[in-house]
Amino acid sequence: MTRAISLRDVTKTFPRNVVAVHRLNLDIAPGEFVVLLGPSGCGKSTVLRMIAGLEDITSGRLLLDGEYANHLPPGQRQLAMVFQDYALYPNMTSRQNIGFPLRIEAPRLDDGPRVNEAARLLGIEDLMDRYPAQLSGGERQRVAMGRAIVRRPTAFLLDEPLSNLDAKLRNRLRAEIATLTRHLGVTTVYVTHDQSEAMSLGDRVAVMRDGVLQQTGTARDVYRLPDNVFVAAFVGTPRINLLRATVYAPLDGRMSIDFGTQRIMLPQPLSDDHQLLRVQMGRPITVGVRSEAVRIAAPGEMRPSEALLNGVVQHVEYQGHESLVHVSTGARHAEVDGLEAPRPPVARGHGRRPRKHRVWRMPGRGGRSAP
Ligand code: ATP
């Protein structure tokens, strides 16, 4: 059995009026894998803890399979939570750690078959007689997962379960978690501040900021059609280029975007997206440009469908399969307040003021990038 989880207008206020979560609405379908993504302190863990019953809900409703569950004790929710520190008992072997929840529920139960089944699913049969101190971080993480699945929960709640691991292991384990939870068909809510983890894992990503849900959608939706500048800037590496500009309609009727020192003419007829710009005429706007939407061309090489911004290449970062090219265009960069997304490496560490630079991505081996 797997659970539908719904949060209706859920708010959590801590003492001293700290509003950790503000009027959150989120429906998670049975078997769905949803990632809560956002910078540190945005309220992700609090959401998870309210679903688990570890934190009271100040106002609003939690529904489990459509039933009002605000006051259901954690033990009756049939949910399994895995934390980033795993919380294994140091004096118990893997076998005892995994079997522990079953022994609490039914002390006389022979937990052997269920523990063995969990060990087999996680590929840790050889580690069952070891103590946590004798396990690597990744192995401990698997034992913690074993302890979560042994009770056959109706949903998994995972709070940054991979954050203590090195990058390589993290990548491997996140693929394993995705495979495992899909194999078990169990609803999963996964909390992370790591946007690349979120993008690679979830059926759906819910982006939060300061306790407020900004957008939910597939990874593709939030990347390609962000609802606001915060989501655009938080999701994607290298970070999207955000430029301040103004929309104008010059005398010949074609619209243009003015970046201060440079202006680009918009193609005609205008696309649906560009039509939206009409209402912004004369007002300051922020233009977001993903690096892959840009190519670097020598003077005179421009194609008719393209718009041209002149710039000077400041720095090229070779990254194997592609290179990041930092270009100074003179246009003003727009910053997003309160953004704690992992920034692209280009934004720091090479001694120049990063706000002047745009990042364009080029395929490896020195070729020109696709538009
Ligand atoms: P992180 O990624 O750093 O774990 P988060 O997005 O999970 O952050 P939460 O732990 O949910 O954020 O915290 C949200 C807000 O609520 C923060 O401002 C935090 O300081 C506050 N907060 C969390 N727990 C408590 C508490 N027990 N008492 C008071 N304030 C709290």
User: Is 266 inside any structural domain?
Assistant: yes
| Confidence (pLDDT) at 360 | 56
In the reported structure, the alpha carbon of residue 20 is separated from the centroid of ligand 1 by a whole-number distance in angstroms of 6
Residue with tokens 């009409």, as numbered in its chain: 278
User: Is 270 inside any structural domain?
Assistant: yes
Question: Distances from the Cα of 46 to the Cαs of 11, 82, 159, in angstroms?
Answer: 10, 14, 10
Q: Are residues 143 and 262 in the same domain?
A: no
**Domain boundary pick from 205, 234, 263:** 234
Domain count, the chain: 2
| Confidence (pLDDT) at 370 | 32
In the reported structure, the alpha carbon of residue 359 is separated from the centroid of ligand 1 by a whole-number distance in angstroms of 33
Domain CATH code at residue 76 = 3.40.50.300
Residue closest by Cα to atom 9 of ligand 1: 43
Q: Are residues 176 and 228 in the same domain?
A: yes
Digit-coded pLDDT (tens) for 130-170: 999 999 888 888 898 888 888 888 899 999 888 777 788 78
Quick check: CB of 193 below 6 Å from ligand 1? yes
User: Is 371 inside any structural domain?
Assistant: no
Q: Are residues 203 and 316 in the same domain?
A: no
Q: Based on the number of CB atoms within 10 Å of its own CB, is 189 exposed (0-12), middle (13-18) or buried (19 or more)?
A: buried
Q: Are residues 191 and 96 in the same domain?
A: yes
Q: Are residues 183 and 248 in the same domain?
A: no
**Domain boundary pick from 200, 234, 268:** 234
CA distance 241 to 327: 11
Digit-coded pLDDT (tens) for 159-198: 988 877 778 878 888 888 888 888 888 999 999 999 989 9
Quick check: CB of 41 below 6 Å from ligand 1? yes
Quick check: CB of 37 below 6 Å from ligand 1? no
Q: Are residues 61 and 191 in the same domain?
A: yes
Ligand 1 atom having least distance to the Cα of 49: 11
| Confidence (pLDDT) at 179 | 85
23 — pLDDT class (breaks 50, 70, 90): very high
Bridge-based pairing state of the strands 18-28 and 5-14? antiparallel
| pLDDT average, residue stretch 274-292 | 84
Whether the complex's predicted ipTM is more than 0.85 is answered with yes
Q: Are residues 11 and 145 in the same domain?
A: yes
Digit-coded pLDDT (tens) for 311-354: 888 889 888 888 888 888 877 787 776 665 443 333 322 333 33
* pLDDT at residue 304 is higher than 60: yes
Q: Are residues 195 and 296 in the same domain?
A: no
* pLDDT at residue 19 is higher than 90: yes
| Confidence (pLDDT) at 55 | 94
86 — pLDDT class (breaks 50, 70, 90): low
Give the percent of the chain with pLDDT over 90: 38
Q: What's the whole-model pTM score?
A: 0.83
| Confidence (pLDDT) at 349 | 28
Q: Are residues 26 and 175 in the same domain?
A: yes
Q: Are residues 308 and 223 in the same domain?
A: no
* pLDDT at residue 92 is higher than 60: yes
In the reported structure, the alpha carbon of residue 208 is separated from the centroid of ligand 1 by a whole-number distance in angstroms of 13
- Two tokens at 290? 């993903």
Ligand 1 atom having least distance to the Cα of 191: 7
User: Is 368 inside any structural domain?
Assistant: no
**Domain boundary pick from 170, 205, 234:** 234
* pLDDT at residue 310 is higher than 50: yes
Residue closest by Cα to atom 26 of ligand 1: 14
296 — pLDDT class (breaks 50, 70, 90): confident
Q: Based on the number of CB atoms within 10 Å of its own CB, is 77 exposed (0-12), middle (13-18) or buried (19 or more)?
A: buried
In the reported structure, the alpha carbon of residue 47 is separated from the centroid of ligand 1 by a whole-number distance in angstroms of 10
Domain that holds residue 24: 5-234
Quick check: CB of 40 below 6 Å from ligand 1? yes
Q: Residue 97: which of 65, 124, 60, 67 has the closest Cα?
A: 124
Residue closest by Cα to atom 31 of ligand 1: 14
- Two tokens at 102? 């079953």
Bridge-based pairing state of the strands 155-159 and 187-192? parallel
Ligand 1 atom having least distance to the Cα of 193: 2
